Amino acid sequence: MASIFLIGPMGAGKSSVGRALANKLGYDFYDSDREIEARCGVDIPTIFDYEGEIGFRDREAAMIDELTALPDIVLATGGGAILREVNRTCLHSRGHVVLLSVELKEQFRRVGFDTRRPLLHTEDPKARLQALMEERAPIYEALAHVEIATDSRRMHHVVSRIMRHLKSSGLLSAPE
């Protein structure tokens, strides 16, 4: 079976769902942001402070290229990973892309006051989330093989929906 790559906006549940999905599939789990932090020895906000968003995106592109080359993994990407064409190519050509979507109200509830999110260091985080979604939604939708909503859903429900999709797509033959 192909590797599974989770894309979507911040707060959609990519890391939480990714861990549970990897466990269910018996795959290794990676979170591209956590891998960048581990390599750099500093958190994402610090990278943004010193290198800006462009420096961070350069690191992210290198990490996504490396991780998507690994076999049998579940990868949770950062919300903006899809902004670069090179990342989209790696994701789409090397695995099965699952878009985890979330409504703005729920997204804001989950991450609106998270100080570890550099893109939300603004006067109006909710407006920033809305603007990011307007910019990124068409890219997410074009890249994804399937979209799964995570609003008000328990993790096991989201993972079960992904497993059913993988099975119906012929990517998974083992029983859930």
Q: What pLDDT was estimated at residue 124?
A: 84
Look at residue 174 and tell me if it is in a domain. Answer: no
Residue 93, in any domain of the structure: yes
Residue 151: predicted pLDDT: 85
Mean of pLDDT values over 160-165? 95
Q: Is residue 65 part of a domain?
A: yes
pLDDT greater at residue 13 or residue 63: 63
Q: What is the reported pLDDT for 92? A: 97
Share of the chain above pLDDT 70, in %: 92
For residue range 40-73, list pLDDT tens digits in order: 999 998 999 999 999 999 999 999 999 999 999 9
Domain contains 67: yes
| Residue 71, domain member (yes or no) | yes
Q: What is the mean pLDDT of residues 83-99?
A: 97
SS3 per-residue string spanning 10-71 = CCCCHHHHHHHHHHHHCCEEEEHHHHHHHHHCCCHHHHHHHHHHHHHHHHHHHHHHHHHCCC
- The CATH number of whichever domain residue 32 belongs to comes to 3.40.50.300
Helices (H) and strands (E) in the chain, counts: 7, 5
Amino acid at 114: D
Q: What angle do CA 97, 55, 12 make, to 5 degrees?
A: 35
Q: Kindly report the pTM of this predicted structure.
A: 0.91
Query: What was the pLDDT predicted at 114?
Result: 63
Please check the confidence at residue 160 and state whether its pLDDT lies above 70: yes
Give the span between the Cα atoms of 76 and 98, in whole angstroms.
10
Percent of the chain with pLDDT over 90: 69
- The verdict on residue 175 lying in a domain is no
- Contact (Cβ atoms closer than 8 angstroms) between residue 102 and residue 17: no
Instruction: Give the pLDDT band of residue 107 (cuts 50, 70, 90).
Output: confident
Amino acid identity at 145: H
78 inside domain: yes
Angle 119-95-93 from CA coordinates, rounded to 5°: 90
Let me know: does 72 contact 3? Beta carbons within 8 Å: yes
Specify the range with the lowest mean pLDDT, choosing from 8-17, 83-92, 157-166. 8-17
Domain assignment of residue 173, yes or no: no
Mean pLDDT estimate for the chain = 91
Residue 176: per-residue pLDDT: 45
What is the total count of domains within the chain? 1
Contact 52, 45 (CB under 8 A): no
The domain of 103 spans 3-168
- Residues 80/57, Cβ–Cβ less than 8 Å: yes
pLDDT of residue 108: 80
Res 23: pLDDT: 97
